[in-house]
Amino acid sequence: MKLNNKIALVTGGTSGIGLAAVTLFRREGAKVVAVGTDRERLKQVETQLGEDGLAMAANLRRPAEIDRVIEVVRDRYGRVDVLFANAGLGRAASLEAVTEADLDEQFEVNVKGLFFTVQKAVPLIARGGSIVLTTSFLNTKGTPGLSILSATKAAVRSLARTLGAELAPRGIRINAVSPGPISTPFASKMGLSEQELKAFAEGVEGQVPLQRFGEAAEVARAALFLASDDSSYVTGTEVVVDGGLSQF
């Protein structure tokens, strides 16, 4: 087992990629703390995690709620070995249509929430620990209507480098996983009509060299590689899981 007895904190652990990672990390021997906001989904994850895991509600837009998660983890486990800072959301809007609230929400979850999750978890991470951030194929692609989401994901890619450089002397690695279009509820929350969503999905799928959407489990396996000692000499980089979309 690749994460035997490791303590793994997974944000966005209630759905999609994070939920797939929770399942996989647990199968690989980790004690998992899953963070999300949806009470119903948190309850389901809690049942799946059993006695040695934890599902916690926290809105990552509020740093005080991240503090609370870290306090509970410190009291219960005393350390974090793996942090998968994965929670995120996106809103589609053209240049003219983007509102201040759209911009704030995406930066507050995808960048501010992620940054403070890392900052607050690091005191619990010892030498040999691993941090994995979720960025996106959008960090290098220009896609109409996704300016703010893409900018947040470029910021996340940048953080893997800068924070990786800061933490390398302490023996803590930080890498990013960069998903392409993945079959999760993510796109359905972008504020598109059903028709727009269908056109968007078909348009993106048509551009993927492997000619299909990816599965959350395929991203989770890349996150496992970065989380585990299999990647012990890998830091500051990203593993791209996008069917070739951003590469060809």
Ligand X SMILES: NC(=O)c1ccc[n+]([C@@H]2O[C@H](COP(=O)([O-])OP(=O)(O)OC[C@H]3O[C@@H](n4cnc5c(N)ncnc54)[C@H](OP(=O)(O)O)[C@@H]3O)[C@@H](O)[C@H]2O)c1
Among 127, 185, 193, 206, binds ligand X (CB under 6 A): 185
Contact between 65 and 44 under an 8 Å Cβ cutoff? The reply is: no
Q: What would the DSSP string read from start to end of 48-104?
A: HH-TT-EEEE--TTSHHHHHHHHHHHHHHHS-EEEEEE-------B-TTT--HHHHH
Among 61, 74, 141, 221, binds ligand X (CB under 6 A): 61
* 18 interacts with ligand X by CB under 6 A: yes
* 150 interacts with ligand X by CB under 6 A: no
Contact between 177 and 85 under an 8 Å Cβ cutoff? The reply is: no
* 136 interacts with ligand X by CB under 6 A: yes
Pull the structure tokens for residue 243: 């069917």
Pull the structure tokens for residue 127: 């030498």
Among 8, 9, 17, 92, binds ligand X (CB under 6 A): 17
Task: Pick between residue 60 and residue 124 the one whose CB is nearest to ligand X.
Answer: 60
How far is it, in rounded angstroms, from Cα 45 to Cα 55? 6
Among 41, 68, 74, 161, binds ligand X (CB under 6 A): 41
How far is it, in rounded angstroms, from Cα 92 to Cα 75? 40
How far is it, in rounded angstroms, from Cα 159 to Cα 162? 5
Interface characters, 95-124, with ligand X (x: CB under 6 A): --------------x---------------
Size of residue set near ligand X by CB under 6 A: 30
Q: How many CB atoms neighbour CB 101 within 10 A?
A: 9
* 37 interacts with ligand X by CB under 6 A: yes
* 88 interacts with ligand X by CB under 6 A: yes
Stretch that binds ligand X, among 35-43, 47-55, 71-79, 223-231 (CB under 6 A): 35-43
3-state secondary structure of 247: coil
Task: Pick between residue 145 and residue 181 the one whose CB is nearest to ligand X.
Answer: 181
Which residues form the interface with ligand X (CB under 6 A)?
11-12, 14-18, 36-38, 41, 58-61, 86-90, 109, 134, 136, 179, 181-182, 184-186, 189
